Structure 1
């Protein structure tokens, strides 16, 4: 065959193959674009219902104990009451008058706080699986979940702390009644109207410390466990579920060693507001006094909140989501 014939045959072959390759590439790119643009909205209403049910159940199981421990920490920092004394008193009150406990302001504040936090984390995962057309158990460990859960938790928690500080914290000095002396010959004392005492205000520094404390706790509860779980040694936990549960319990608890001083300082700035202020050495002495019992008490609160509550929320959501997808 001549060289010209070979050249013509090669040109014809390339002309035949090139359009096919271009067509394949166009089809693959169009499929990728359609997959990227297609949202996973199947059973979206049921999935949102699962998120709500899981968060509400986790909150109901953990918030009674959290309410009692939170009050005990407040009264320890403000009035010096032993934490065990307040816990025993609240437990007896909860058993004797359950309706007053579960319908009271302290429990409703705590329940709103943690249920809203669980629900926000669930919603972020559901939104990611919907917008990225991924499986329901796709976990978002990045900044969107951190910022969303932090904003929701911080807004409610700071309000809750302010209410708890006013309910269980230091009380302003009692109202004084100053007598006046009557200059009449009878020399009788005439009482003067009571002098109102201004209520204590939450300092802005306390709000800032509470916000920093909550940011640390949220990061350790919703972002770090999923990143740390694969690194748990096999001799400690063998299955992925055990590693995830262990990390979910350990990370929030360990972070209390760092966040407890912030919590105690914020409370002390509110509880002790003398006119001339206090030296930092005096405040540090109070923090050292309350650090160990408050730290372990906060662990006893955080472990149910983000350990037990977090595991219940994740496991229940996983179980119900598999039921929804099975339908």
Structure 2
């Protein structure tokens, strides 16, 4: 009688796992390096405008002049390093979560995910890194003081809600929004619905999140017993221009950066499948 054989099915996809993790890091680093210069200049300008140090336009001109004339001074500065670490860390978290899912569920390496797990992972990474960056930027470019004071707790809370809204709109909304966009086949030959959603969702949410950002900065810049009305007047005064400025930084951060990170990762992963 022939001896029966048993076959075991490998439920994990570990093929080229080390190279896939390296591709996750390379994709994230390339996207972060691409968008960090613009985001650094805009973040600095928003905070200097809110604190009264410089106008939004003047601060942007100064930053881009430094980038053009003394690029080493700009690219090796502390503000640039903080922004690079922030977005590089966020992209890496999203990428490694996708690789973990494709590994444990035995799916192709180029598989991406969307859902609560991805939101929690990316928002936690982005939140912790962004709060650290915000505290440093507020002290570097906020209201001029001889010794920068600690960031108040309510400011951290407002920054946290702002970041959760942005991360949710950047990583979870685009896959859901893309099928609903009224894009013809001709339009999608130039820009895919997924790419369009990756730009639109995080930009639109800034109209809601920017007042939270400005109020958090105002609580740091003008400590004391100012009433809600005085603070709302300041927030309303800076809301529109700051919203457009934050759109201009979010589009590179989660639009351009998100698309570059996604596309570079997809191309690298397809070669490793």
Is the TM value for this pair above 0.5? yes
How far apart, CA to CA, are the structure 2 residues paired with 1:80 and 1:96? 23
Equivalent residues of 1:230, 1:240 under 8 A apart: no
Equivalent residues of 2:53, 2:144 under 8 A apart: no
* Relative contact order higher in (CA < 8 Å, ≥ 6 apart): 2
The reply on whether 1:313 has 2:258 as its aligned counterpart is: no
Structure 2: runs of 5 or more not aligned: none
In structure 2, the partner of 1:125 is: 98
Partner residue of 2:207 out of 236, 248, 257? 257
> Post-superposition shift, 1:309?
0.4
Structure 1: runs of 5 or more not aligned: 1-26, 175-197
Partner residue of 1:283 out of 231, 234, 240? 231
How far apart, CA to CA, are the structure 2 residues paired with 1:149 and 1:257? 21
Secondary structure in 1 matching 2:226: coil
The CA deviation string for residues 62-109 of structure 1, in whole angstroms up to 9 with x for no partner, is 100000000000001111632111111111112222112111100000
In structure 2, the partner of 1:204 is: 153
How far apart, CA to CA, are the structure 2 residues paired with 1:203 and 1:138? 41
What's the TM-score once normalised by structure 1's chain length?
0.78
> Post-superposition shift, 1:143?
1.1
Equivalent residues of 1:39, 1:130 under 8 A apart: yes
Alignment of structure 1 residues 176-187 onto 2, 5 Å:
none
Secondary structure in 1 matching 2:160: helix
Partner residue of 1:221 out of 170, 180, 188? 170
Residues paired across the two proteins, number: 268
What's the TM-score once normalised by structure 2's chain length?
0.94
In structure 1, the partner of 2:84 is: 111
